[in-house]
């Protein structure tokens, strides 16, 4: 399939990717920071997209974004999952 991206579009995409790469360590730290989950009860399942992130979205609009794509899901539900996913992303 041909790529119809304009040079301006490619530049903007490149700038956005550079910005996201620079913010990634901060996002990983926020996810790993236990304080984010302080209000959750041990052993009680949650849907993090409708719980934990509501506060983040409310306090920092635009900090959580969604993109439609055909990417794989990377689970970070446990410290081991987070470490494995982080190792894959930093390759």
Structural domain boundaries in the chain = 7-66
Burial of 58 (0-12, 13-18, 19+ CB in 10 A): exposed
> Tell me: the pLDDT tens digits for 3-50?
677 888 888 888 888 887 777 766 666 666 666 677 777 777 666 565
* 37-55 as b/e: b if 16+ CB within 10 A: eeeeeeeeeeeeeeebeee
> Tell me: the pLDDT tens digits for 40-63?
777 776 665 656 677 777 888 887
Reported as a pLDDT band with limits 50, 70 and 90, residue 87 is: confident
Indicate the pTM of the whole model.
0.29
pLDDT for 31 equals: 62
Of the candidates 73, 66, 77, which has an alpha carbon nearest to the alpha carbon of residue 88? Answer: 73
| Cα distance between residue 82 and residue 53, in whole Å | 17
pLDDT for 30 equals: 63
Dihedral over alpha carbons 40, 89, 80, 71 (to 10 degrees): 70
Cβ contact 67:81 at 8 Å: no
């Amino acid at each position: 399939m041909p790529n119809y991206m304009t040079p301006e579009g490619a530049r903007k995409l490149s700038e956005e990717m550079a910005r996201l790469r620079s913010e990634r360590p901060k996002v990983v730290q926020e996810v790993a920071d236990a304080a984010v989950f302080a209000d959750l009860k041990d052993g009680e399942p949650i849907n993090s997209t409708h719980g934990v992130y509501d506060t983040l979205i409310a306090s920092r609009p635009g900090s959580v974004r969604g993109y439609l794509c055909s990417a794989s899901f990377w689970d970070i539900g446990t410290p081991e999952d987070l470490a494995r996913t982080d190792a894959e992303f930093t390759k």
